């Protein structure tokens, strides 16, 4: 069974991001949900996506690639993944952020799944480096690290998470780190944690722009990608197997509030 280039791009994004609910699949394809469902049935028949219509949370069913599909498209061995209620909202939001920032461009986003595959398992007694929720290349050609926070951590945990995220961003030579948050409580904790880290000198000579962005406002300001975003010419395969200053941000890919560092 031959697949169209847009279906191949969809499958690649799904493999990269673990999976997606049907409404986001429709958004990525630029079609209605009913049309997206018919395409999903075609992909299931080709054994490219799981036959299970999982609903970890109320709402649309989730579409996940088969392990053989993910292995083939990502070029490495993967583990089968299914959405859990705990992870569904986070996984969905990270994908929404990706689509808002780079659309269906496969070259400008580095996923958490890819970053995780590039870091060897920690040896006994060692700690594995922090893994960002993603990184992307902005309109200026800069590498920006992305974190998505939907629930408020306690202050100690937030400071640890931010410090590790900054360290990983610096190690990867990122130009910036953007925290996408949901809710005033999450924003307050991140802001306070970042301020305490700054006051303790953690950000000295970091050379890193750290920003806060309300994820829901950010998504509202972005145009949803449609099928025309998909790049032609891809191969088709057969199925099988902080108390802070708040200046305005002018870069359209970096809406948010600057955290003094």
Same domain as 110, residue 14: no
Q: For residue 20, is it within any domain?
A: yes
Same domain as 177, residue 55: no
What's the rounded mean pLDDT across residues 77-89? 89
CB 215 within 8 A of CB 95: no
Q: Which residues contact 204 (CB under 8 A, 6 or more apart)?
A: none
Q: For residue 164, is it within any domain?
A: yes
Same domain as 253, residue 200: yes
Same domain as 138, residue 34: no
Same domain as 166, residue 226: yes
pLDDT cut 70: percent of the chain above it: 81
Q: Is the per-residue pLDDT at 81 higher than 50?
A: yes
57 token code pair: 């949370």
What is d(CA 48, CA 66) in angstroms, rounded to the nearest whole number? 6
Mean pLDDT value across the chain: 84
CB 49 within 8 A of CB 18: no
Same domain as 96, residue 68: no
Q: For residue 237, is it within any domain?
A: no
Number of domain units in the chain: 2
Phi-psi region of 251 (alpha: psi -120 to 50; beta: other; left: phi over 0): beta
pLDDT of 86: 86
Dihedral in degrees, nearest 10, Cα atoms 52, 116, 151, 205: -160
Q: Is 143 strand, coil or helix?
A: strand
Q: What is the DSSP string of 174-232?
A: -SEEEEEE-SHHHHHHHHHHHHHHHHTTTTTT---EEEEEEHHHHHHTSPPP-GGGSPS
pLDDT of 1: 66
pLDDT of 256: 60
Q: Which residues contact 66 (CB under 8 A, 6 or more apart)?
A: 47, 48, 49, 50, 80, 241
pLDDT of 254: 47
pLDDT of 52: 84
Where does a domain end: 83, 108, 131?
Answer: 83
Same domain as 251, residue 164: yes
pTM: 0.84
Q: For residue 114, is it within any domain?
A: yes
pLDDT of 106: 96
Place of tokens 């099988």: 240
Same domain as 215, residue 171: yes
Q: Which residue has the higher pLDDT, 232 or 259?
A: 259
> Among residues 12, 23, 46, which one has the least CA distance to residue 224?
23
Where does a domain end: 83, 107, 124?
Answer: 83
Confidence of residue 157 (pLDDT cuts 50, 70, 90): very high
Residue 62 sits in a domain whose CATH number is 1.10.10.10
Same domain as 114, residue 69: no
Same domain as 180, residue 154: yes
Express each pLDDT in 159-197 by its tens digit: 999 999 999 999 999 999 999 999 999 999 999 999 999
Express each pLDDT in 209-243 by its tens digit: 999 999 999 888 775 544 444 443 333 333 332 32
Where does a domain end: 49, 83, 117?
Answer: 83
Same domain as 227, residue 122: yes
Find the domain containing 73 and state its range.
1-83
Q: Is the per-residue pLDDT at 251 higher than 60?
A: no
Same domain as 202, residue 74: no
């Amino acid at each position: 069974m031959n697949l169209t280039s847009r279906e191949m791009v969809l499958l690649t994004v799904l493999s990269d991001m673990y999976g997606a609910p049907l409404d986001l699949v429709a958004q990525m394809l630029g079609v209605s949900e009913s049309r997206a469902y018919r395409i999903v049935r075609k992909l299931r028949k080709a054994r490219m996506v799981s036959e299970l219509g999982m609903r970890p949370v109320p709402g649309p069913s989730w579409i996940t690639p088969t392990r053989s599909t993910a292995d083939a498209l990502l070029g490495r061995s993967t583990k089968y993944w299914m959405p859990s209620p705990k992870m569904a909202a986070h996984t969905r939001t990270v994908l929404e952020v990706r689509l808002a920032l780079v659309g269906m461009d496969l070259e400008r986003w580095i996923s958490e799944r890819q970053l995780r595959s590039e870091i060897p398992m920690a040896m006994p007694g060692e700690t594995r480096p922090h893994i960002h929720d993603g990184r992307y290349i902005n309109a200026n050609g800069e590498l920006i690290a992305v974190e998505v926070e939907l629930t408020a951590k306690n202050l100690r945990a937030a400071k640890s998470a931010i410090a590790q995220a900054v360290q990983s961003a610096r190690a990867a030579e990122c130009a910036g780190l953007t925290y996408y948050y949901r809710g005033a409580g999450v924003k307050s904790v991140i802001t306070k944690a970042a301020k305490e880290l700054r006051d303790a000198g953690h950000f000295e000579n970091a050379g890193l722009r750290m920003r806060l962005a309300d994820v829901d406002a950010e998504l509202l300001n972005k145009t949803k990608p449609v099928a025309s975003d998909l790049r032609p010419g891809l191969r088709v395969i057969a199925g099988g197997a902080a108390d802070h200053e708040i200046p305005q941000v002018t870069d359209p890919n970096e809406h948010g509030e600057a955290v003094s560092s």
